[in-house]
Amino acid sequence: ETGVTQTPRHLVMGMTNKKSLKCEQHLGHNAMYWYKQSAKKPLELMFVYSLEERVENNSVPSRFSPECPNSSHLFLHLHTLQPEDSALYLCASSQDQGPQETQYFGPGTRLLVL
Amino acid sequence: SQKIEQNSEALNIQEGKTATLTCNYTNYSPAYLQWYRQDPGRGPVFLLLIRENEKEKRKERLKVTFDTTLKQSLFHITASQPADSATYLCALPPDPGGYNKLIFGAGTRLAVHP
C-alpha cells in the first residue's frame, strides 16, 4: 500500500463504547497529525506527533487519547464520546515539521456517535 | 489569532471557463500559503504552495497568487472541467511561531457544469 491509510473507514459507536482509529503512513515521514472535520467547518487540528513524540495537543478533551508507537503508525483511542464528536477524522503525515512541509492525508474515518 | 476566510457559498461555473477562488487572512502575513483539494468523504490533497516572496505560482491549469498587501491569495483553474468539481481549501501557519502546523479555511465548493 502507498500513502496514508486509515481504518476503519466508517464507525458507529455508542457513548459508552471504547474504540480505536488506526492510521498508517508508508511515506517514511517523521510527523503525523490527527484532525477533526465537522460538516461545513474547517479542519480542526487535534494532535501532532514528531518522531513519535507528541508536540501539540490542541485542547482536546481527554476522551480522545492518541498513541504513536512508531513513526509509521498513529492511533486515536476513543471512549465515552458524545454525539457532537460525530465527524470525519483525518490522519495526515509530513516529512518533518518544517515551515513549508506539505501534508499528506488519509481517506478519513467517518465516525457516528449515537 | 489568525483567521482564514473563504467564500462559503458554492461557485458554479460553466465548463471551459476560469474559476477563481479567494482566500483572505486576517492577521499577520504568513511565510507561505498552501492550497488543497478535497472530494466528498475523502482527505484533502495538496495542490500548490506559494511563498511570501512569490507573487504567482503555476502548475498545469492551476495558478495561485499571493498579495500580502491585500492579505489575500487567489486560486485560479483555467479551462475548467467537471472533474475539477470539489472543495478547495487554503491553509497557512496560525502564527509566526506555528511552523509545525497549519490552519485550514472551511473551503469553497466549486461545481463545474458541462
Min Cα separation A16/chain B (Å): 26
A90 touches chain B (CB under 8 A): yes
Q: Does A100 touch chain B (CB under 8 A)?
A: yes
Predicted confidence at residue B2, as pLDDT, reads 83
Distance from CA of B111 to the nearest CA of A (A): 16
Alpha carbon distance B24, A75 (integer Å): 34
Residue B100 has a pLDDT of 64
Residue B98 has pLDDT above 60, yes or no: no
User: Residue B1 in contact with residue B95, Cβ under 8 Å?
Assistant: yes
Rounded Cα distance between A111 and A7, Å, is 11
CA distances to A16, A53, A55, A112 from A69, in Å? 26, 9, 15, 26
Measured between beta carbons, the chain A residues lying within 8 angstroms of B107 are 42
Closest alpha carbon to A61 in A48, A79, A43? A79
Distance from CA of A15 to the nearest CA of B (A): 23
Note the pLDDT tens digit of each residue in A101-114: 889 999 999 999 99
Q: Find the mean pLDDT for residues B31-39.
A: 93
**What digits encode the pLDDT tens for the residues B73-84?**
999 999 999 999
Q: Give the three-state DSSP class for A63.
A: coil
**pLDDT at A99 (0 to 100):** 60
Summarised one tens digit per residue, pLDDT across range A40-85 is: 889 999 999 988 888 777 789 999 999 999 999 999 999 999 999 9
